[in-house]
Structure 1
Amino acid sequence: MTILQDPSLTANRAFVLHPGGKFTYEQRAVPDLETDRDVIVRIVATGLCGSDVHYWQHGRIGQYVVEKPIILGHESSGIVVKCGKKVTDLAVGDRVMLEPGDSSPTTEPSPNTTAPPANAAINCRPIFSLRDGSMIEPLSVAVHSCRLAGSLQESSVAVFGAGPVGLLCSAVARAFGASTVVAIDVVDSRLASALKHGATHAYKMDTESPEINAKGLLSSVGLDYGFDVVLDATGAEPCLSCGIHALTRGGTFVQVGLGNPNPSLPVGQICDKEAVFKGSFRYGPGDFKMAIDLLNSRRVKLDGLVTHEFSFEDAEDAFKNVVGRAGIKSVIYGPDVDENEANKFN
Structure 2
Amino acid sequence: MSGIQHTTNQSCVLVPQSTFRYETRDIPTLKSDRDVIVRVVATGLCGSDVHYWHNGQLGRYVVTDPLLLGHESSGIIASLGPRAEAEGLTVGDRVALEPGVACNTCPPCRAGRYNLCHHMVFAATPPIDGTLCMYYRVPAECCYKLPPHISLRDGALVEPLGVAVHGCRLGGDMQDKAVVVFGAGPVGLLCVAVARAFGASTVVVVDIVTSRLESALKYGATHTYQMGAGSPEENAEALLKSTGLEHGANVVLEATGAEPCVNTGVHAVAPGGTFVQVGLGKSNLSIPVGQICDKEVVFKGCFRYGPGDFKLAVGLLNSKRINLEGIVTHEYPFSQVEDAFKNVLGRAGIKTVIYGPEIDENMAKTAA
Output the CA distance in 1 between the equivalents of 2:301 and 2:65.
Answer: 28
- Which residue of structure 2 aligns with residue 153 of structure 1? 175
Unaligned stretches of 5+ residues in structure 1: 1-5
The one-character-per-residue Cα deviations of 1:42-100 (angstroms, maximum 9, x if unpaired) are 10111111221122222222222223222111111111111212222111111111111
- Which residue of structure 1 aligns with residue 136 of structure 2? 117
Give how far 1:257 is off: 0.8
The one-character-per-residue Cα deviations of 1:133-180 (angstroms, maximum 9, x if unpaired) are 100000000000011111111111110000000000011011111111
Please show how residues 206-217 of structure 1 align to structure 2 within 5 Å.
206-217=228-239
Q: Is the 8 A contact 2:152 2:366 kept in 1?
A: no
- Which residue of structure 1 aligns with residue 59 of structure 2? 62
TM-score, normalized by length of structure 1?
Answer: 0.94
Amino acid in structure 2 at the alignment position of 1:93: G
Amino acid in structure 2 at the alignment position of 1:47: G
Structure 1 position 226 matched with structure 2 position 245: no
Structure 1 position 249 matched with structure 2 position 249: no
Q: Is the 8 A contact 1:310 1:339 kept in 2?
A: no
Unaligned stretches of 5+ residues in structure 2: none
Q: Is the 8 A contact 1:311 1:338 kept in 2?
A: no
Match of residue 139, structure 1, among 130, 139, 161: 161
- Which residue of structure 2 aligns with residue 296 of structure 1? 318
- Which residue of structure 2 aligns with residue 3 of structure 1? none
Q: Is the 8 A contact 1:244 1:266 kept in 2?
A: yes
- Aligned-CA RMSD value: 1.7
Match of residue 7, structure 1, among 4, 8, 11: 4
Output the CA distance in 2 between the equivalents of 1:142 and 1:236.
Answer: 18
More displaced stretch, 157-166 vs 105-114: 105-114
More displaced stretch, 50-59 vs 133-142: 50-59
Amino acid in structure 1 at the alignment position of 2:91: V
More displaced stretch, 260-269 vs 51-60: 51-60
Count residues with an aligned counterpart: 341
Amino acid in structure 2 at the alignment position of 1:90: L
Output the CA distance in 2 between the equivalents of 1:292 and 1:341.
Answer: 20
Q: Is the 8 A contact 1:23 1:316 kept in 2?
A: yes
TM-score, normalized by length of structure 2?
Answer: 0.88
Identity of aligned residues (%): 61
Structure 1 position 36 matched with structure 2 position 58: no
**Are residues 277 and 97 of structure 1, via their aligned partners in 2, closer, same or farther at CA, if it must alter by over 3 Å?**
same
Amino acid in structure 2 at the alignment position of 1:100: P
1:117 partner SS: strand
- Which residue of structure 2 aligns with residue 239 of structure 1? 261
Please show how residues 83-122 of structure 1 align to structure 2 within 5 Å.
83-86=80-83, 87-88=85-86, 89-102=88-101, 105-106=109-110, 107=114, 108=117, 109-110=120-121, 112=125, 114-115=130-131, 117-122=136-141
Output the CA distance in 2 between the equivalents of 1:98 and 1:45.
Answer: 11
Give how far 1:123 is off: 1.1
Q: Is the 8 A contact 1:47 1:76 kept in 2?
A: yes
1:321 partner SS: helix
The one-character-per-residue Cα deviations of 1:9-58 (angstroms, maximum 9, x if unpaired) are 44211112223322222222111111111121110111111221122222
Output the CA distance in 2 between the equivalents of 1:279 and 1:65.
Answer: 23
Question: What stretches of structure 1 move > 6 A for 4+ residues in a row?
Answer: none
**Are residues 255 and 110 of structure 1, via their aligned partners in 2, closer, same or farther at CA, if it must alter by over 3 Å?**
farther
- Which residue of structure 2 aligns with residue 275 of structure 1? 297
Give how far 1:7 is off: 2.7
Amino acid in structure 1 at the alignment position of 2:314: I
